[in-house]
Structure 1
């Protein structure tokens, strides 16, 4: 059998606007950020509502109204400049507008508007190609194929009657092969899939990354942490990388899901948890307003620390944001993966928050409905925590981000973890290698 280990990561290609174009005919996709941010809107949303759904709808309505009012000058300019760009797309979640294939002349006009804070080229988060994969049609054929599920204690939670029922987990990834035998029964029946690029009505996976990730969260056959959860996904990453406009569309979809064609917004179908096995760079604040909105809506954001180790300070954004749960990776011997991103953040905060199994993980693959494969990376450790949160929410449906974070910090395993003093002052927990320790389901 051909054995290969897959380590998947994302890195950010950031490019500032040039002082002048290389050629007068240059065109580029740009993101227009308005002077008026969204934090003030979030602060105006009442704390208490009769239901979570009503709160999210109120939040969405306020953000939509805010973006309509503040984006008027940009919309007016675009309406008079049809020959200077192909199309535009407004995002109410972040109060931004993406202008596609804009001329340099239009870019300069946009930058002169007093209502505009910034006009920057659209960034792309390029995917690293898989390094190693082992495939089979029988997930039990791998040696210790489900060691990760046993190690974190998921079976004992299942035996107490909590398997993720009535909880919804979302993912922003390369797509998911929804017809896979390990995933099809848990795929929510509606408002479950969005592809910003092609508007495809049928879920698919561009690289296999997203299918493997979702299998760890929701797969049956013993590969998933929360086998009775319902899942949804948004294709924020193409085979060539994760384009910021796609990511923004997916962030918005998660706050208020739509049908596959973008119609029929229904905020009552927002997921409880969103898994994000991607990220890059340090100290990047591009998605801070999104994270704030998700937190306001009661959505728990979980991010990978990145496959950027072993150096200190290698944890990636948005995983270096202190308002998200950030996950590093270990192997079956509780050793930290050499690739696992470490803290501290650029602002000195300890990250990750905890670690979970990430090396040699068996899950669903995307080339057929019966294929399983082994992959490694923080992309694999992160969905263990997302699935674990789903189990916790199935037992405690009213749990908050704060209570989830607290219980997962208190119940981690540290005795078997090799607490190197690297990147930290001593070996005490939390530290910048393992956070509070390795995920352990005990509640």
Structure 2
């Protein structure tokens, strides 16, 4: 744990297995600089450590309770100088020498007290020295979890270093309703990557605190307290899967995020669900795009191996995620109206995000289209002109005029795309025959006939 100091007399952390402690600020500073730990720094580190792995029955339990801890003071809250960056790098090297598995960092940097330092344009994952060190730690086998920062409403307005690292798990803050905290730093990075990577509770987090000499607890907010929650979850995952590399743990957490199908620069891949992360090895995750790199929504994705079959569709942002797929070799098929179908062989487990590019074939007509038509057991995709943001209603009727299936929702872009599984409103497969499909968008109606073959 790299922080601004640690008061380890609090009952929430008194029983932790602390293997070593070093104060790199004092070790590296010149005699002319006051490096004394501050009450704020000691409290900040205490709070972070308690959220990460503390335990006090009836008050608090951290997700990494029972782990072994190495503590390093790398920050001084009284000033901001490059010395702190040097201290962080030295502490990371020390942690590596001691065999650390995870670095949890709730400190970060932008500019120094003399006005020098970094700019938001430097947050490209390569420029800041601390970011280079964090990525190197990951390369050496240490998972690095860093607070994204509390700069959303400041003049800086972006992430803190080293959260911009492409191998670093940057963590933003949400409240108990999973709404992004107003202060939580947003992305993207200077080179256009989505950041933060994940989010966790960072508003009114229960943490150990020392006030006027009294040891107690307080509700505290900040990405500093969201990051240790994710670091603690990562520790549990590593305990269950000690053979996983840091990048695999990071990918597992992203796939288990509640925004895995719609990541954004507010919360990244969202709040991860631990039990799902444990099963991430049996997943296939990726994105469907066109030749211009734009997302292809509602593309049909089928994975086959012998008699086994997995099916899903891509989200509005083109992302897809399949669960419960045993290791092995599979045939992947992807298709969407007005695109050439795509087939490939896939070997699982696959930890890289699978980016599939579909080649457009022809120009979409200004009407409602169903593909394929006739519709088989695998279902079909309806495509229709949208021309912007609109609410659409799609209905399918039997030859006698009975409503078989309907869909209502808001769509965006030039064309709306809706997936139909060839089932009725109760989820049962419908009989073979000719059906009427009607869509209403912005007061205009379009219709087409659809054949179903079983």
Structure 1 length-normalised TM:
0.52
Task: Give the 3 Å change call, closer, same or farther, for CA 362–395 of structure 1 in structure 2.
Answer: same
- Relative contact order, higher structure (CA 8 A, sep 6+): 1
Q: Secondary structure at the match of 2:215?
A: coil
Q: Give a deviation string over 1:299-354, Cα, whole Å, max 9, x none.
A: 11111111111599722322122121101100011111011111111111110111
The structure with the largest helix share of the pair is: 1
- Check 1:236–1:378 CA distance in 2 against 1; reply closer, same or farther (3 A cut): same
Task: Give aligned pairs, total.
Answer: 250
The answer as to whether partners of 2:132 and 2:165 remain within 8 angstroms in 1 is no
Alpha-carbon displacement from aligned partner over 1:363-410 (angstroms, at most 9, x marks no partner) = 111345732111101111111111111111111122211110111011
Q: Which residue of 1 aligns with 2:222?
A: 377
Distance 1:250 1:315, change over 3 A: closer
- Name stretches of at least 5 consecutive residues in structure 2 with no aligned partner: 30-35, 111-119, 279-454
In structure 1, stretches of 5+ residues that fail to align are 1-170, 258-266, 416-427
Alignment of 1:35-434 (within 5 A): 171-189=1-19, 191-197=20-26, 206-207=40-41, 208-221=43-56, 222-257=60-95, 269-281=98-110, 282=120, 283-284=122-123, 285-309=128-152, 314-367=158-211, 368=213, 370-414=215-259, 429-434=262-267
Q: Distance in 2 between matches of 1:317 and 1:199?
A: 20
Larger Rg: 2
Point out the more displaced range, 346-355 or 216-225: 216-225
> Matched residues in 2 for 1:253 and 1:372: separation?
28
Contact 1:280–1:306 (CA under 8 A) maintained in structure 2: no
Tell whether the 8 Å contact from 1:330 to 1:359 is kept in structure 2 after alignment. yes
- Tell me, what secondary structure is at the counterpart of 1:233? strand
| Residues 32-63 of structure 1: per-residue CA shift (max 9 Å, x gap) | xxxxxxxxxxxxxxxxxxxxxxxxxxxxxxxx
TM-score by length of 2: 0.51
